[in-house]
Structure 1
Amino acid sequence: MSFKEFNLKPFLLAALDELGFTEPTPVQQRLIPVIKSGKSVIGKSQTGSGKTHTFLLPIFNAINPELDEVQSVITTPSRELAYQIYEAAKQLASHSDTPIRVVNYVGGTDKARQISKLKHEQPQVIIGTPGRLLDLVKTGELDIHTARSFVVDEADMTLDMGFLSEVDQIASRLPEKLQMMVFSATIPQKLQPFLRKYMSNPVMEEIPVTSVISPTIDNWLISTKGKNKNDLIYNLLTMGEPYLALVFANTKNRVKEITSFLKQNGLKVAMIEGDLPPRERKRVMRDVQNLDYQFVVATDLASRGIDIEGVSHVINDGIPDDLDFFIHRVGRTGRKGMKGIAITLYSPDEEDKISEIEALGIEFKPKAIQNGEIVDSYDRNRRKTRSHGHEKLDGALIASINKTKKKVKPGYKKKIQKEISREQLKKRRLEQRQRGRNERKQKKESSNRYQ
């Protein structure tokens, strides 16, 4: 299938040619015709699935450049995502013979200047974060009552970040007859009342995950047991000569710690996290886009906003509590058919999380660093306790066995067998005592009944 089959306006096809987009993604194949028909939709799909152009293409196809009023409103929870959508929208608009006014409103930008411009003309396509959009709407500078379509991008993230109330207030000021598009990786229960309030019989499409991460990504797993994580990260960044490497950490403090360590060791590193002032964050993002940095250290929140061509390596400094973020992190590489390497550092107490990720269909290749090279390592599951008809061992004993050293000393198997035998003997004695207690209790109860 090609984009030509959607009967889009010629300027949009020219814009897609410039991007090198030839075949629509599954979410685009399913939802672009539905959105073009004017229906409201809920699109549930994974990161990197092509959601942005899924709603931008039909929106721009329906825009009337001659009509001097707001025609579409798009909200997204983070500034990085807003800039990402804005750049994609500008690229589409740049191919239109008649100018289409696209404006981005996010916090941390010059509000007075935005108000001054709004007094002269209204944009036709609005993109922005909920807080700034609502500010401009409440004071009357931004007139959205003429909009015919409304997009809530990353709805689950909007909910998690506490912005759903602002989006609700924006939606309440839009016309009753409105095409609404909601895109989200998940549809949490707490999002349902909002959807029911504003959407009547929407078309809901859940794009099944055929591969949670791109097949072009090499997914490596490295144990940090007995190793310094900062040293590991430095070695991984310097031995492979990555084109552009993103390092993701779970907390702002950890991001700062990694950045400081790498800088002390002579690397030029960009840091993206929540404490950065808006102007500084914008500058850093621009420098990263211009490839002024080879290494970027970021928090999970930033991971949804970073969409840079040519990310060759992603390094996970541990595993996030929300496994969706793991997918978002890894999804920064291996895009558009390019090869990428995702490296996850994990400690022994993160075994359960690794198993949960594997349950999503993701396969890890165990690796280790030896003599300045990355080499194949052993499968961490290779020594899992097997049943073989024996009694099931309890957790404490399994833990005791798993703590044993890799190099087995002579006679060690006999020692383990004795420990197993002792545990089983202890277990049988406990069971015998419990049976004895139960029998004495039954006799006593029986005796009391006949007295």
Structure 2
Amino acid sequence: MKFTEFTLKPYIQEALKEIGFVTATEVQERLIPIVLSGRDLVGESKTGSGKTHTFLIPIFQQLQEEVEQVQAVITAPSRELATQIYQAARQIAMCSSTEIRVVNYVGGTDKQRQIDKLQTSQPHIVIGTPGRIYDLVKSGDLAIHKATTFVVDEADMTLDMGFLETVDRIASSLPKNLQFLVFSATIPQKLQPFLKKYLTNPVIEQIKTQTVISDTIDNWLISTKGRDKNALILDITKLMQPYLAMIFVNTKTRADELHSYLSANGLRVAKIHGDIPPRERKRIMNQVKNLEFEYIVATDLAARGIDIEGVSHVINDAIPQDLSFFVHRVGRTGRNGLAGTAITLYQPSDDADIRELEKLNIRFVPKMMKDGEFQDTYDRDRRVNREKSREKLDLEMIGLVKKKKKKIKPGYKKKIQWAVDEKRRKTKRIENRAKGRAERKAKRQTF
């Protein structure tokens, strides 16, 4: 469905055209009409599916530009995500001939300056982190009691980071006749009491897809084979030509170590984790947007909180300790229909975690680096499968030997050996055919 098929204000259509939005994503096509109808909504869909414009477009469509009061409040669990939503909203607002005031209230910014501005005028749309928004509401400076729409974005992350209680306080300051919109990658059970408390007969939409990660992402698996991971990642970067690559690590200490190593080897690398001060993080993000860096080393907080255009590659230094973060890491690339490559480094001890991810219908393509390029390699299970095949064959041979021994005749040893060899030849042919089919299938998918 094309955006021109929606009945939208001219300036909204102009804004969408300006950023090259022609066809709505599945989430947008299904949920925008529901939001425009005024119903409360719980929208569950994978990361990178276009949720931001799913709620921004209806907010602007229903906005009364001439009414100078807060009409929509949007919370996000991280500064980076709030800023991303703010930038998307500002882009739409700038296309309007009537001034639309959109503000971004996040921690680490000048609170007093924000209060001073609120003394002269209230914004139309409020975007920000729960803590800062609630501080301004609690002090009486931000008047949200006449808002008509409240959006909780990334609700599961809001819950995980302990911000749900603050969002609850914000919601209690809003009017009862309010449209409540909740968007999330997942809807955990612990979120249910909050939803029941505030949402009235909501539409619950789950946008299911055949694959958990985007179809446009090449999801590769590379064995470390006991190699030093710093050197391995450096070798991987030499074979990539990224527009921008994010390298995810499990700890802040590892982020510091890898950042230092890659920087010392001449790469333009940024570093983002929880110990980076807000002002410094903001400066780094501006540098990233100005393409001053080619790589970003980040922890999982950034995996859920950063939405940067043009991430062409993702490298997982290790499988995340919380497997649910794998999808969010990989989802930083392959967004809005663009191609992306995700590379995960693994070792034999990671097999159990990889199998758990495969149960979620996440498919990995095994790769190796050889002759200066990435090449297909054998599946990591080949040794296990071979051992199972041999075990099965050996059991059959034991039975055959026992059967033959019951009636010994001249030449029985040769016959048994011939039977064993024939069985092995047949098994080998079957394995080779299966391997050939797998390789042909992998090649077709590559091209």
Bin for the TM-score computed over the shorter chain? 0.7 to 0.9
Number of the residue aligned with 1:440: none
Shift of 1:218: 1.5
Matching residue of 2:181: 181
Report what 1:249 is aligned to.
249
Deviations 1:208-253 (A, max 9, x none): 1233222222111111131111111111112223221110111111
Deviation (angstroms), 1:389: 8.1
Deviation at 1:88, TM superposition (A): 0.4
Alignment of 1:313 onto 2:317: no
- Once the two structures are aligned, what percentage of the paired residues are identical? 62
- 1:357-376 aligned at under 5 Å gives the runs 357-376=357-376
Q: Secondary structure at the match of 2:127?
A: strand
SS in 1 for 2:220: strand
Q: What is the match of residue 72 of structure 2?
A: 72
Aligned length: 393
CA contact (8 A) 1:84 1:305 kept: no
Q: Which residue of 2 aligns with 1:449?
A: none
Q: 1:23-102 to 2 correspondence within 5 Å?
A: 23-102=23-102
Letter in 2 for 1:188: P
Q: Distance in 1 between matches of 2:212 and 2:359?
A: 11
**Distance across 1 between alignment mates of 2:195 and 2:23:** 31
Q: Write the distance in 1 (CA, Å) between the matches of 2:334 and 2:160.
A: 27
Matched residue, 1:343: 343
Which residue does 2:445 correspond to in 1? none
**Counterpart Cα distance in 1 of 2:215 and 2:168:** 38
Cα displacement (A) at 1:71: 0.3
Equivalent pair of 2:268/2:292 in contact (CA under 8 Å): no
User: Residue in 1 aligned with 2:235?
Assistant: 235
CA distance in 2, matches of 1:10, 1:309: 25
Contact 2:46 2:213 in 1 (8 A): no
Q: Distance in 2 between matches of 1:161 and 1:306?
A: 15
List aligned pairs for 1:131-210, cutoff 5 A.
131-210=131-210
| Structure 1 residue 135: Cα displacement | 0.5
1:307 Cα offset (Å): 2.2
Contact 2:330–2:342 (Cα < 8 Å) also in 1: yes
Q: How much does 1:390 deviate?
A: 7.5
Say if 1:106 and 1:132, in contact at 8 Å, map to a contact too. Answer: yes
CA apart distance, 1:31: 1.0
CA distance in 2, matches of 1:239, 1:380: 22
The one-letter code matched in structure 2 to 1:99 is: E
Q: Does 1:15 align with 2:19?
A: no
Asked if the contact 1:153–1:184 (Cα under 8 Å) also holds between the matched residues in 2, the reply is yes
Q: Mind listing any 5+ residue stretches in structure 2 that lack a counterpart?
A: 396-447
Q: Secondary structure at the match of 1:73?
A: strand
Q: Is the 8 A contact 2:79 2:107 kept in 1?
A: yes
Look up the SS of the partner of 1:108 in the other structure: coil
Contact kept in structure 1, 2:106 and 2:133, CA below 8 Å: yes
- Residue 388 (structure 1) aligned with residue 389 (structure 2): no
| Partner Cα distance (1:162, 1:60) in 2 | 30
Q: Which amino acid aligns with 2:350?
A: E
Deviations 1:94-131 (A, max 9, x none): 11110110000000000010000000100110000000
SS in 2 for 1:52: helix
Within 5 Å, give how 1:216-365 maps onto structure 2.
Answer: 216-365=216-365
Residue in 1 that maps onto 2:403: none
Structure 2 Cα separation of the partners of residues 67 and 323 of structure 1: 46
Question: Shift in Å at residue 365 of structure 1?
Answer: 1.4
Deviations 1:323-342 (A, max 9, x none): 33211111122223332211
- Structure 1 residue runs of 5 or longer lacking an equivalent are 392-451
- In 2, distance between residues paired with 1:377 and 1:13? 48
